[in-house]
């Protein structure tokens, strides 16, 4: 590492988060660790820690990602959420990758394969991204799959909303039940519907024995606890928004104690003093209002630092970012800051959650936007 800018990944926190989730939600046989997007930017290598903590199935978005993580464990099953071409089925077979049946046409395209491949059927219950949408198609696939080399191991869907202030969650759940009403789900080894958000918001489903843990593993519960004195107001707001419609009960609070796994650091490499009315940055984005100290920090757009990042911490004190470049940021500091001082970009109270809230972005997007130009250091 020749530049003192890096992502610190605390694997102890990752392990504790997983164990905490499993202790609070123990009613599942399969705990899927979702490691798509380079494990949400944390680095594929963390799958070893996940497995040690109790994760017993991994999930990715593509065959490329599956192959990338296979080197860390040769035995654990890996579910690919996305499309795998027919000509790549041999690669999937050799790497023990479980396929997703994303459509009726896709099933017809691969059902004559010579390879014994595990498959999960994805139901499109309302996300309208991929999946089987019609009951007759689903029933045909389940009937015909018996005469193929494909092994039906699972069935699942993905919820588009939380169900806290909407009825769409229940609409999707009812759609899943409607699609599968003529199918004995007990004959399908793995049934998984919930992700990190729906897990903490809703009661368990008696017919589901799997849950997909994504962003919660990395320290984001997707459900901030509400103080007791504010619960009546939240329930009133929910009642007004839902207008008396029949919906599932939701859990507004949970007992999870999750810690953020990722933090980001850099260092001051240069300090300059400027006078009133001097400018800093492209387009002269910052104008000095007096005598000022400007610190240049060795991290920038190419590392995933966007205009949503507003401040940093140096020696425990918060300072504003006044300009961002491809490789640097300019920070308005004081005379206490020195060259080579450590700079906290994420950590010590600076979080992706607050950045996302202030910029109307998502934590998911911010996490995977941190580029691999920043080396991952594992603690």
pLDDT of residue 224: 65
Which of 72-81, 222-231, 351-360 has the lowest average pLDDT? 222-231
Q: What are phi and psi of 202, to 5 degrees?
A: -130, 155
Question: In the chain, where does the domain assigned CATH 3.20.20.10 lie?
Answer: 11-242
For the domain made up of 11-242, give the CATH fold.
Answer: TIM Barrel (3.20.20)
CATH of 262-378, one of 1.20.120.330, 2.40.37.10, 3.40.47.10, 3.30.1780.10: 2.40.37.10
Distance CA 246, CA 232 (A): 19
Cβ neighbours around 156 below 10 Å, total: 26
Mean pLDDT within 315-339: 98
Give the residue with greater pLDDT, 246 vs 281. Answer: 281
Torsion of CA 77, 79, 85, 89, to 10 degrees: 20
Distance CA 240, CA 300 (A): 45
Mean pLDDT within 342-349: 97
How is residue 28 written in tokens? 């599942």
Instruction: Give residue 141's pLDDT band: very low, low, confident or very high (50, 70, 90).
Output: very high
pLDDT of residue 222: 61
pLDDT in tens, 286-308: 999 999 999 999 999 999 999 99
Instruction: Give residue 240's pLDDT band: very low, low, confident or very high (50, 70, 90).
Output: confident
Mean pLDDT within 25-30: 96
pTM over 0.85? The answer is yes
User: What separation in angstroms does the CA of 189 have from each of 3, 80, 310, 319?
Assistant: 49, 17, 48, 53
Question: In the chain, where does the domain assigned CATH 2.40.37.10 lie?
Answer: 262-378
């Amino acid at each position: 590492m020749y530049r003192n800018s890096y992502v610190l990944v605390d694997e102890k926190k990752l392990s504790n988060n997983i164990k905490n989730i499993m202790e609070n939600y123990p009613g599942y046989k399969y705990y899927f660790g979702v490691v798509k997007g380079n494990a949400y930017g944390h680095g594929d290598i963390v799958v070893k820690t996940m497995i040690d903590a109790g994760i017993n199935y991994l999930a990715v978005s593509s065959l490329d990602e599956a192959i990338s993580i296979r080197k860390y464990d040769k035995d654990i099953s890996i579910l690919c959420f996305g499309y795998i071409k027919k000509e790549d089925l041999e690669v999937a077979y050799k790497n023990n990758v479980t396929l997703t049946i994303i459509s009726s046409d896709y099933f017809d395209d691969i059902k004559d394969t010579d390879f014994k491949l595990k498959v999960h059927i994805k139901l499109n219950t309302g996300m309208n991204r991929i999946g089987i949408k019609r009951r007759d198609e689903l029933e045909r696939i389940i009937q015909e799959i018996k005469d193929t080399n494909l092994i039906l191991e699972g069935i699942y869907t993905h919820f588009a909303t939380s169900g806290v202030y909407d009825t769409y969650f229940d609409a999707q759940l009812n759609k899943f039940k409607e699609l599968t009403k003529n199918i004995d789900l007990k004959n399908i080894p793995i049934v998984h519907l919930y992700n990190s958000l729906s897990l903490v918001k809703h009661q368990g489903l008696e017919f589901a024995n799997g849950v997909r843990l994504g962003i919660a593993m990395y320290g984001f519960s997707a459900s901030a606890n509400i103080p007791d004195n504010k619960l009546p107001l939240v329930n009133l707001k929910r009642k007004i928004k839902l207008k008396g419609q029949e919906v599932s009960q939701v859990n507004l609070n949970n007992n999870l104690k999750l810690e953020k796994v990722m933090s980001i650091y850099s260092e001051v490499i240069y300090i300059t003093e400027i006078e009133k009315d001097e400018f800093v940055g492209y387009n002269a984005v910052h104008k000095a209002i007096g005598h000022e100290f400007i610190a240049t920090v060795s991290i920038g757009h190419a590392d995933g630092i966007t205009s949503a990042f507003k401040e940093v911490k140096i020696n425990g004190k918060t300072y504003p970012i006044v300009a961002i470049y491809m490789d640097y940021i300019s920070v308005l500091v004081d005379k206490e800051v020195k060259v080579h001082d450590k700079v906290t970009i994420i950590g010590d109270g600076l979080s992706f959650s607050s950045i996302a809230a202030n910029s109307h972005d998502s934590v998911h997007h911010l996490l995977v936007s941190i580029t691999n130009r920043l080396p991952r250091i594992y603690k």
